[in-house]
A = this chain, B = another copy of it.
Amino acid sequence: MAERYFDDFKVGERFSTATKTVTQDMIVEFAKVYDPQPFHIDPAAAKHSIFGGLIASGFQTLALGFRLFWDTGLFKAASMGSPGFDELRWLKPVRPGDTLRVEMEVTESRPSQSKPDRGIIRAGFRILNQNSEAVLTFNSMHLLKRKLD
């Protein structure tokens, strides 16, 4: 893939990622460190929770979705990190065996006023399961390098 920089991302462009299947081991391993709520780490307790079974930490779903996007290579040359995300909504539980993929659409593009070497794009992310149900959506900002001549 050709290297992409800030100016290569156009409003309305859409990208999609490969898939990743989430396992019970992954869910429990992450949650033990970062989010040890019973419905993330204990299958028996999870069964009696409102979720009716083990579900992934929402932080893990978020990070896995970003990893899927990162692996497209689209941000590899230009990423300078993110100032922030807005409107994260966890819409459906992610359960062991679910297969996730990500759709991303560029919604805004703005060169930096003060720093000519960079710009900010906004993007809408949708993390979908194998039934094409959105499990997590959010709007992100990304600081991207410009390709200077």
State the Cβ distance, A7 to closest chain B Cβ, in Å.
Answer: 18
Q: Are A34 and B63 in contact (CB under 8 A)?
A: yes
Cβ of A64 under 8 Å from chain B = yes
Q: How many protomers of this protein does the assembly include?
A: 2
Residue of B nearest to A145 (CB): B50
Query: Scoring A residues 107 to 129 as 1 if CB is less than 8 Å from chain B, else 0, what string do you get?
Result: 00000000000000000000000
Q: How large is the interface on A (under 10, 10 to 19, 20 to 34, 35 or more residues)?
A: 20 to 34
Cβ of A37 under 8 Å from chain B = yes
Q: Interface segment, A8-16, A74-82, A98-106?
A: A74-82
**Can you report 10 A-B residue pairs in the complex whose CB atoms are below 8 A from each other?**
A34-B66, A34-B67, A35-B63, A35-B70, A36-B70, A37-B79, A37-B81, A59-B63, A81-B90, A86-B86
The 8 residue pairs across chains A and B that have the minimum distance between CB atoms: A34-B63, A59-B63, A84-B89, A85-B88, A84-B88, A34-B67, A50-B80, A37-B79
